[in-house]
Structures are given as C-alpha cells and as structure tokens.
Structure 1
C-alpha cells in the first residue's frame, strides 16, 4: 500500500466506489481488494472482484450522480492482525427522473466497514444502512410504505398477539 495507512486507503476506496468513476472503481477494487473479498449490504452479498465491480457499476448506471459526504473514520486492530476501518457517511444518490412533487435525490446514511487482512488487502466490505430509511425516500413507494404498510403491519401483529393471548387463556381455562 506504499506506506499508506488503512484509513487513507479506506477513504480513497470509499470516495471512489460511491461515485460515477467506473474505471476508477474497477481499479481500486483490483488494487485494494483481496481476490476472494466479500461485499455485502442489507440487500446483497457477493464475492470476488468481478461481482463486487458489478455491484458498483450498477449504482453508477442507475443514478445520475452519487456524492459521498464522509463524517467520521475510525479504525482498530482486531484478532488475527486484521485491521477494521469504519466510515460514517451520508451518500446522496440522484435519480434520473425529476418529476413534479417527487423527490429526485435520495440521501442515505451509511456505515461502511472495511476489514483488511495481514497483507493490507480488503477481505470484507460491509455497508450498513436502514432499509426503512431507503424505502421511505423512494418516490411513491415511500408514501405507501410509511403511510399504509407499516401501520397495517402494526395493526395485524397487534391482533395476532391478542389472538394468541386469548387462545392461551382459553386453553388454560380448559385445563
């Protein structure tokens, strides 16, 4: 890594992956990721350079613009001489359509966790973000999810709890 710290490498990798620079994305993955590295987030889990590259190419294809805003970077050494770097950032994704009354930019708080091995290669890249936050920010889906779906789910689960409690009471009474 040319005397660069894992923190410096993680900052470069993060700012490159969350951009539209597809050639640079391929380069940082091939340079800094182990060949068997794993990338995962709440929706996907993939392994290997080519599969990880495809995930970030997909983002670059879907969105008009991707802008990361890093707030903090922390690091620590863990068992097995692995180095963990965590980046807390807000990433703005601009949708290709700008329709009247529909939000065309999604800002998602993301905690990115890079795990470096003894050879200073990234063996695991995990993005942690809230599926709720994402769904609420999507055009049309957000209104349905937050306004209807979550409330209905709450009503249904409450009724299931009441039904279960009443069934248990009745069963105990029978005994």
Structure 2
C-alpha cells in the first residue's frame, strides 16, 4: 500500500481516508500497519500536553490512549490537499476505570506528508499535530458547560456591550468637540476678514493698513496723536 503522486484524485482521497481510519481505529493490526508503512522513523507528534519524536514513541502513546479510553473516536471529515490531511473528529471519552463517565470532545488531527526521496512519488507522514479547543473541552462537561453558556458568556457579552457603548459615546463626543473647534476657527477667520474689509474701505485698498491690517504701533500712534492734539473746544 503505497501512495504515489501520480494516483488519480479519487484514488488518493480513498487511500488517505483508509490511512486515517486505520490510524485512529482501535484495531491493533490495522494501526500497526500504518505506523510501519506510512510514518517516517523520526516522525514527531505534538499536542497541547506533549511533544515526542520517533514512530515507536508515537505508537506507544496510541497504545496508552487505547488502554485508558474504551471508545474509539468518530471521524467527521477528512480534507487532503496532496501534502496535508486535516481530520475533524470527536473524541468519545469513556475512561476504562470510570465506564459511566462519557464525554464528547471535538478535536483536530493534522497529518503532514512528504516524499520519502526526491521525486520518488512516495508519501509518508513526518509530523502529526493533535489539537482541541478550550470551548470543546468545556462543552464536554455538562455542569461546567451550563455555567459557561449561561453565566460566563452572558456576563462577558454584557461587559463588552457596555464597553462598546462607552467607547462609542466617547468617539461621538470627540467628533462633536472637533466640529466645534473647527467652527470656532472658521468664525475667527470670518471676523478677521470682516475687520480687514473695514480697513480697506476706510484707508483704501492700496494702503498698508488695508493690506496688513492695523498693528499695535499704529494703535499706539493714534492714541498719542489724540493726547497731543485734543479736539478743539470753544
């Protein structure tokens, strides 16, 4: 049973499905055949709890798992793109020492394939990654799942909604302040322009005052002139 790159798509898909089902099955003969023919000797296995290397060590981990858990997983979907197989499955947890305890935990197994030799066309697994989500673990425990769905999620939803409302109000207020500032600036520019137009009408459009507007020195000279030459009085 070897997988070549020249195989038709449907044939490759069927082969990958057979490999995955044999690997995850509790049939020791089928599982052993996968480790012997479809794993590199130095293949690695990683999960949220461990990281190991060597196909023998990986096989030992599978053996321990089968001895602790009575039911094999249920395969929901297999996606293979030619080099990577992503397996969506449900772990049916039923500890051998506590057979009355049963839980279903969603999990994902990712198998990475590569050629045994360059241009050989023969693919084997060099890496396996097992993963599961925190939500999946929580949802598998009835009491914790109820508390998580009806307390944690509800409270977090209200907190985020309130925080979002506060941020939205702050943004709106900042926009209003910005508009108000621009309006004040516009009015100031308008008043300045009106004053300049008044000086142009009074002193002529070619005079310095009409072009630049009055300065502090001009105002001081006007005041001094008024003081030195008081208006004529009878």
Into which bin does the TM-score normalised by the smaller protein fall? 0.5 to 0.7
1:67 aligns to 2:64 (yes or no)? no
Q: Relative CO higher for 1 or 2, CA cutoff 8 Å, sep ≥ 6?
A: 1
Alpha-carbon distance change, 153 to 97 in structure 1, aligned in 2, over 3 angstroms = farther
Q: Which has the higher strand share?
A: 1
TM-score, scaled to structure 1 = 0.63
Q: Distance in 1 between matches of 2:80 and 2:107?
A: 16
Deviations 1:114-163 (A, max 9, x none): 22111233133234555323312214322221121111111111111112
* Higher normalized helix content (fraction of residues): 2
> Does residue 12 of the first structure (1) align with residue 22 of the second (2)?
yes
| Distance (whole Å) between structure 1 residues aligned to residue 159 and residue 35 of structure 2 | 45
Matched, 1:108 2:105: yes
TM-score (norm. length: structure 2): 0.50
**Structure 2 equivalent of residue 153 of structure 1:** 156
Residues 166 and 56 (structure 1 numbering): CA distance in 2 closer, same or farther, change over 3 Å? Answer: farther
Question: By how many angstroms is 1:109 displaced?
Answer: 3.6
Unaligned runs of 5+ in 2: 4-14, 117-122, 179-234
RMSD across aligned C-alpha pairs, in angstroms?
Answer: 3.7
Aligned equivalents of 1:13, 1:45: Cα separation in 2: 19
| Structure 1 gaps, min length 5 | 78-82
For these two proteins, the number of residue pairs brought into alignment is 157
Whose Rg is larger? Answer: 2
